[in-house]
Amino acid sequence: MSIIYINPYRFAAAGPTDPDFANVSLLLHGDGTNGSTTVIDSSPSPQTVTAAGDAQISTAQSKFGGASIAFDGSGDYLQLSSQAALSFGTDDFTIETWARLTSTGNVQVIIEARNQLAPVPWILAVDSSNKILFRHGVGLLTSNASITYGQWQHYAVTRSAGVIRIFIDGVTDTSTATNTSAIDAGAQGLIGQAFGSGYYINGYIDDLRITKGVARYTSNFTPPTAPFPDA
């Protein structure tokens, strides 16, 4: 009688997948060795991420994966190489991240589409009143609720059929009237500061993701309970 060998790994359950992964233009898990300045973009078309100042991987705090990207609020930031990754045109989009920030009383920029010659095309930040701020060209949307410093929170901004919404920990905080104008990047993007103005982050960022052409959230949702999928 012949013996049939079955490789148990051949039929191992596949990990979670993202049906919109092809639309992901930036995915920073912030994983790695403590003190490393290598930050990997796990999106389908990875770009170069350059750390400046003391921005680095830290195992002191994390939401997922045992590490995150640490900023000390003084000269730390990441520079992104791709303009296309941050340009949405008139399409839907989702910008989201986990953050654990320390109060400074100043504006703290999470991510911006940098433009050296004109006003910033878009910027996601925490303002000096501890509210989430999303500026898009001449438009400005500010959350009603304040963030909570010293704990991990999920922040998201989406545009669906022209309506821009801010979410804090999965709760729809505020929305703006229909805006179908183009929202594009002027040049590279910056994470952790505003070009020419500072406004540095003091705290940690984990699992930052941008999805172009898809509004992942249009109403209240449960924040992710695991790292964003890489496929």
**Residues 101/205, Cβ–Cβ less than 8 Å:** no
Q: How far is CA 94 from the centre of its chain?
A: 9
Full-model pTM: 0.91
Specify the length of the chain in residues.
231
| pLDDT for residue 115 | 58
Residue 196 CB burial class (10 angstroms; 0-12, 13-18, ≥19): exposed
Q: Which option is the CATH number for 16-212: 3.40.630.30, 3.30.420.60, 2.60.120.200, 1.10.3470.10?
A: 2.60.120.200
For residue 14, give Cα distances in angstroms to 9, 17, 23, 150, 229. 10, 8, 21, 35, 11
pLDDT at 176 (0 to 100)? 83
The CB density around residue 9, as the number of other CB atoms within 10 Å, is: 6
- What is the pairing mode between strands 153-160 and 163-168? antiparallel
Cα separation, 160 vs 177, in Å, equals 11
Checking phi first, is residue 225 left (phi over 0); if not, alpha (psi -120 to 50) or beta?
alpha
Averages of pLDDT over runs of 10 residues in the chain (231 residues) are: 39 71 98 98 96 97 98 95 89 97 90 67 93 87 96 97 95 83 79 86 97 97 97 97
Residues in contact with 3: Cβ distance below 8 Å, sequence separation at least 6, in sequence order: none
Q: Kindly state the tokens that stand for 136.
A: 């898009």
